[in-house]
Amino acid sequence: MTGASSGIGAATARLLAEQGWLCVLVARREERLRSLATELDGEIEVCDVGDRDAVEAMAARVLERHPAVDLLVNNAGMPARETYVEADLDLVERVLAVNYFGTAWCARALLPGLQAAPRGHLVNVVSVAGTIAFARSGPYVASKHAQLAFSRCLRPTLARAGVAVHTILPGFVATESFSQATLRRSRRSRWLVTDAATIARAIVRAVDRDRAEVVVPWFPYRPAIALHGVAPGLIRAIERLLPRRRG
């Protein structure tokens, strides 16, 4: 479980632990990980998934302890709220490394363990932003588009090896890194925001029911995705109506 120190990752780990899973919690913040691991009787791996060498070293340690990996949840992610004109180029590179390459590197590094399991499952937590191009968060959106394409390509590839790939597409979720404070302040937009526990339940259901791709919540995001495909200009107009982030 990457990105396990807070938000969707921590909520998913708690839900899996309730169901009897042994969770290996992966993130950068060791103190947070140790606290959660104590609560869940799990294991920790301190790792920056945006660093390929660190990912490969982490995966080697995990596979030494657990040659078969039944479930990998690629959840680590970071925001980048600027447009492509405003964003620092180091941020553009970093968000791509964490959100896209981190997913690809973890999947490749832990693939031997997934293939060794009786039925391995790989969950990639992407975003509705991977399907709709919002200009205000251009670098983040691009990283999620790449992550979504990777996840979709991986499902038929790994099906031959008996590994199921599940893609989760959350809408706006209130977490520590993505507070959604601006949306929640406005009466016309606060209903768009969901919580980490809702996404965690969707992740577990997707694995249990072998769902390929899940949008959470279904409304209004699934219709918006379809609408973007046939009328992208209308989505641009809707984006202009959403409140702008302050500060």
- Cβ count near 97 (within 10 Å): 18
Least Cα distance to 167 among 130, 137, 132 occurs for 130
Q: How many CA atoms lie within 13 A of 107 on its CB side?
A: 26
Distance of alpha carbon 1 from alpha carbon 203, whole angstroms:
12
CA distances from residue 161 to 95, 201, 226, 234 in whole angstroms, order as listed:
30, 26, 32, 41
Q: Which of these is catalytic: 84, 100, 140, 221?
A: 140
Angle of helix 7-18 relative to helix 196-209, nearest 10 degrees, comes to: 50
CA distances from residue 108 to 38, 49, 135, 165, 212 in whole angstroms, order as listed:
28, 12, 31, 13, 19
Catalytic residue list contains 140 = yes
Catalytic residue IDs: 140
